[in-house]
Chain A
Amino acid sequence: MLSNIGISLLVLVLILSFLIIYNASLDLKISSQSVKKNIYKLSLFQITFIILSFFTLIIGFINSDFSLINVYENSHTAKPLFYKIAGTWGNHEGSLLLWVNILVIFSYLFLVFNRNHDKKFRLYTLIFQNILILGFLFFLLLNSNPFNSIYPIPLEGLGLNPILQDPALAIHPPLLYVGFVGCSIYFSAAMASLLSDYGGKLFAQSIKTWVKISWCFQTLGIIVGSIWAYYELGWGGFWFWDPVENASLLPWFAITALMHSLIVLEKRNTLYAWAIILCLLTFILSVTGTFLVRSGILNSVHTFASDPSRGIYILSFLSFMIFSALTIFFKKYKKENYNFNLKSKEIFILANNWFMAFFLVTVLIGMLYPIFLDVLINEKISVGPPFFNIVIIPLVIPFMILMAVGPKFGWIKSKNKIFYKALFLILVAGVINLFIFYFFGKYSLLSNLIFIAAIFLILHSLLDFKNFINNKNKLELPRIISHLGFGLLVFFIGINHQFSLEEDFNLKVGEVKKTSAYVIDFEDISIEEGKNYKAIIGNFKLTNLKNNIVQYLNPEIRIYPNPETLTYEAAIKTKINSDLYLTMSNVSRSEYYNIKFQKKPFMIWIWISALMITFGGFVQLTLKKNEN
């Protein structure tokens, strides 16, 4: 029954999308300045039905209704309620339903919140957004339908993958999708802007809130994913330049560039064409990322199970999107006259875009090159973390310096005293870096420069914060918080990378390993029966040789039945100044266990800085209209 309700609701939404496109097209020709009332009504029905369909699926999961194939494949009666619900979007079909939901929700909200903008523009946006909705709905109904039913109804589900039962992983997709999919609305708005000749400052104002919202959630989604990877995947890292991670990063670079360019577009009514390109590019990158990850063309630690038909469909739709965007853009593109001074804020925002474009291109090339070589010359290579780190990190240095100095410049032109202050702060940063270098440990020239640039950015931001407290100019606060967060993030990642201790060794129960800083005593093993697994728990005593403090860590090997899966739970002790990290795995056919031990300084500050970056974005969303 749920199957029928779900499919009916989706078909209704499909029909409504057609009706909206039809009615909006008719209304375009009518000269009155307000959008016809029935379009609002149709949109309201549309958003109601799509949300209901999503709830229908959730109910299916809560009730463990195995008549739905999707619930059968991805759930289990023994799953805790919270994870049953999260299971709704933790699979391909369910996440696609979430995708369509967000497309519709943003479509409705954009319509309703932009009443004071040009009617043609709003109608075109609605039309394009609904074309996107139709595209994804057809994909959903024909290829990846979460409401497909199965008969006879199985008694129990298959889906008890323990790795997916984690709170961070549960909220990670919805957060990320508000970013990923939310950018669809300004893709549609950009197409609409071109067709209705509604550009410049007004266009910037119509989309800027949506850009900011998608940026905040995309950033937050990426951070939550990293936190999950660190705590759950058992390797002590938080970023692996894995295809799925890169797929979420590509739109992020574009949204960040766009967010900054909109400031220029709104203030100085220039860079319109570039802003349009970014709007179109962002959602194109989202869909490209989805294609790369769900089609099976790349292999990665966390791909969804792949199916070639998905790849074909998504690629066809992506091609359609790209060619439509190019056609309309080329048709309507008008040359702009630029009027930029070298010493102006606009140039620094252009510089931000320049660097964002570089980072984006690097990640994109890194992801695509193996496919490219494989197809063209049948050679298989890997492009992994060393490539991305080597190419990107050196350029983060000038990027941070520009980030610190850029906001100081005024619109149109500025005075020279900015440089003297910058010079002074570079020297201070240099001194602080030297202090760290001589007292805590030696590192390479590149690392020195990274620290100096990061400290420079941090100092600038702190001074700006002091000024903010004095002059209460709220406009500056979000930027100060986010830029400070970025400087701190790079700084702590640098410290963490330089001063981490890592050891990999094999030990039998009862043996002791002495490293340069710690004595690790593998005291014993205990076995525990959990709710749905059996755990082998290692009891380790760690003694810090510098201060003789003793700590106990208990990593686990968990054995889940049906199908038999092994997971390795890391023991992590988080303190304000460092994390201790221990994982153990059994060496086959031997009494030895492979132990990986890490001490990671300031790990929690990496999360705090990253969250600070997001926080700045949320602060900006809450600034009242007249302050913005």
Chain B
Amino acid sequence: MKISFTKIIILSFAIFILGIFWQGLKTNKNYDTKNLVGSKISNFQLSEINNHQQYISEENLKKNNYTLINFFASWCAPCRTEHKYLLNLSNSKKEIKIIGINFKDKKINANNFLSELGNPYDFVGKDIDGKTSILFGIYGIPESILINNELIVIKKIIGPIDEIQFNEILKLIQ
């Protein structure tokens, strides 16, 4: 059987495609935005939930060594399960500030939520229509972003913070 150039090309091509398929079976299928770790937070302005004359912007965050921005809502069940880790972080002596952003919620419900479960936040912003969440690349609740003093995202937590992720945060903010 004479082996010609075309045959080798076709054979290599078939092996290549099948190889890609084999590898493809092993990679993760669900898309998450974890690839945004490394990007920078830019222009935003958040007004305080109870006082709309008070606000913070990215300038304020530069003063912190680390900031955890946590999107939550009173109507969100998983937000309750992660709350204790947020309280833990805020009570610890670590160099981390926690900003809460109340997502598509009513002021009164948010306040009740925080008085019932405790308030771990150094600042609670409001995002009534959800548009601010888009600025932070959020697509579900709860979701949290850990940034450093250069406003670079160093960790993204999608879904409620659990024990493992809590420990990872602690490690990162040493």
13 contacts between A and B (CB under 8 A): A291-B21, A297-B21, A297-B29, A299-B30, A315-B25, A319-B18, A326-B10, A326-B14, A330-B1, A375-B24, A376-B20, A380-B35, A589-B104
Interface string of A581-597 (1 = CB under 8 A from B): 00000001100000000
* Contact of B20 with A330 in the complex, beta carbons under 8 Å: no
Chain A residues, Cβ within 8 Å of B75:
589
* Contact of A371 with B14 in the complex, beta carbons under 8 Å: no
* Contact of A326 with B1 in the complex, beta carbons under 8 Å: no
| Residues 254-303 of A at the B interface (beta carbon under 8 Å) | 291, 295-297, 299
Main SS class of interface, B: helix
Among B10, B24, B31, chain A packs the most CB atoms within 10 A around the CB of: B24
Task: Give CA–CA (A164, B122) in the complex, Å.
Answer: 50
* A457 CB, nearest partner CB in chain B, Å: 35
Question: Would you call A331 an interface residue if the criterion is a C-beta within 8 Å of the partner chain's C-beta atoms?
Answer: yes
Question: Would you call A374 an interface residue if the criterion is a C-beta within 8 Å of the partner chain's C-beta atoms?
Answer: yes
Chain B residues, Cβ within 8 Å of A331:
1
Interface string of B1-37 (1 = CB under 8 A from A): 1000001001100100110111111010111000100
Chain B residues, Cβ within 8 Å of A295:
25
* Contact of A372 with B20 in the complex, beta carbons under 8 Å: yes
* A2 CB, nearest partner CB in chain B, Å: 33
Chain A residues, Cβ within 8 Å of B27:
374-375
B10, B11, B20: the one contacting A375 at CB < 8 Å is B20
* Contact of A315 with B11 in the complex, beta carbons under 8 Å: no
* Chain B minimum-CB-distance residue to A306: B29
Task: Give CA–CA (A311, B27) in the complex, Å.
Answer: 13
* Chain A minimum-CB-distance residue to B21: A315
* Chain A minimum-CB-distance residue to B28: A374
| Residues 349-399 of A at the B interface (beta carbon under 8 Å) | 368, 371-372, 374-376, 380
Task: Give CA–CA (A271, B119) in the complex, Å.
Answer: 77
- Size band of the A side of the interface? 20 to 34
Residues of A within 8 A of B (CB): 291, 295-297, 299, 308, 311-312, 315, 318-319, 322-323, 326, 330-331, 368, 371-372, 374-376, 380, 588-589
Task: Give CA–CA (A311, B21) in the complex, Å.
Answer: 9
* A195 CB, nearest partner CB in chain B, Å: 15
* Contact of A380 with B31 in the complex, beta carbons under 8 Å: yes
Interface residue count on the B side (C-beta < 8 Å): 20
Chain B residues, Cβ within 8 Å of A319:
18
Chain A residues, Cβ within 8 Å of B104:
588-589
* Contact of A296 with B29 in the complex, beta carbons under 8 Å: yes
* Chain B minimum-CB-distance residue to A378: B27
Chain B residues, Cβ within 8 Å of A322:
14, 18
Chain B residues, Cβ within 8 Å of A326:
10-11, 14
* Chain B minimum-CB-distance residue to A296: B29
Among A308, A312, A318, A374, chain B packs the most CB atoms within 10 A around the CB of: A374
* Contact of A311 with B1 in the complex, beta carbons under 8 Å: no
* A564 CB, nearest partner CB in chain B, Å: 15
Apart from A308-B25, A371-B21: 15 A-B pairs, beta carbons within 8 A: A291-B21, A296-B29, A297-B21, A297-B29, A299-B30, A315-B25, A319-B18, A323-B14, A326-B10, A330-B7, A331-B1, A368-B17, A371-B24, A374-B24, A374-B27
Q: A323-B14, A326-B11 are in contact. Are A299 and B29 (CB under 8 A)?
A: yes
* Contact of B23 with A375 in the complex, beta carbons under 8 Å: yes
Chain A residues, Cβ within 8 Å of B31:
380
Chain A residues, Cβ within 8 Å of B35:
380
